[in-house]
């Protein structure tokens, strides 16, 4: 990632269907301004409630995890009515890019990611979009970012879906290293929540993946 020097000109870094991300400064600190996008096809009152609710959940989850000392972006400012969250810009290297540039170094960090995700799950939070593009390595530490789809849940199915999404991400972007990467991730995860829990979680992941394959096979065959 490029270094942001304050003060600096605001820069749009992502323009998605749900939110716009702008890199700028807040009180002299590098920050990300996340503004949720209004939907013109949706009832205005309902739209406001949804934006407010989703922004509140995301901000609360980030604040809760920071209070636990976990590596997620700090919250600087929140305006629920405007659907605005201003948070820390975590400056570092994306794990996705590190895996491509230095796989041996990346293996150490994905084990740390396993520990971090386990602690997030232990806190009753599901991230919802764990990919190597949402992990930043900063000064030797691993940070998980982009909690726009996060929610509170302790259901095994939801925790397993988090791991399923990571596996799909690794398979699609780092296929040649997937076995090593996932083995190291699981080692770090088990260090926090134990091997017995990990085994039950991986069984649920396998079930989710089999369901996905079944649905895809039916689609290809033209089934209903």
Give the Cβ contact number of residue 80 at 10 Å.
15
Q: Enumerate residues 6+ apart whose C-beta is below 8 A from 216.
A: none
Distance, in Å, from the CA atom of 215 to the CA atom of 60, rounded to the nearest integer, reads 35
**Residue from 129, 141, 146, 158 carrying the catalytic annotation:** 129
| Distance set, CA 116 to CA 65, 71, 72, 177, 189 (Å) | 11, 8, 10, 21, 8
Distance, in Å, from the CA atom of 52 to the CA atom of 44, rounded to the nearest integer, reads 12
Reply yes or no on whether 129 is catalytic. yes
Cα dihedral sign, 80-46-150-99: negative
Cα dihedral sign, 28-149-60-82: positive
Distance of CA 105 to the CA centre of its chain: 21
Q: Which residues are tagged catalytic?
A: 129
């Amino acid at each position: 990632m490029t270094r942001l020097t304050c003060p600096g000109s605001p820069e749009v870094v992502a323009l998605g269907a749900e939110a716009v991300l702008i890199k700028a400064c807040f009180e002299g600190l590098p920050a990300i301004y996340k503004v949720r996008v209004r939907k013109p096809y949706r009832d205005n009152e309902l739209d406001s409630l949804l934006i407010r609710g989703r922004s509140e959940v995301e901000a609360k989850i980030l604040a809760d995890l920071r209070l636990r000392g976990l590596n997620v972006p700090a919250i600087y400012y929140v305006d629920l009515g405007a659907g605005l969250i201003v948070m820390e810009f975590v400056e570092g290297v994306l794990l996705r890019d590190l895996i491509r540039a230095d796989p041996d170094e990346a293996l150490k960090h994905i084990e740390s990611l396993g520990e971090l995700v386990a602690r997030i799950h232990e806190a009753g939070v599901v991230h919802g979009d764990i990919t190597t593009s949402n992990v930043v390595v900063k000064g030797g530490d691993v940070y998980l970012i982009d909690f726009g789809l996060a929610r509170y849940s302790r259901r095994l199915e939801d925790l397993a879906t988090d791991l399923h999404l990571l596996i799909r991400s690794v398979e699609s972007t780092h296929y040649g290293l997937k076995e090593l990467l996932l083995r190291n991730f699981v080692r770090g995860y088990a260090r926090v929540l134990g091997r017995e829990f990990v085994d039950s979680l991986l069984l649920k992941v396998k079930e989710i993946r089999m369901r996905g394959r079944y649905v895809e096979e039916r689609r290809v065959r033209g089934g209903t």
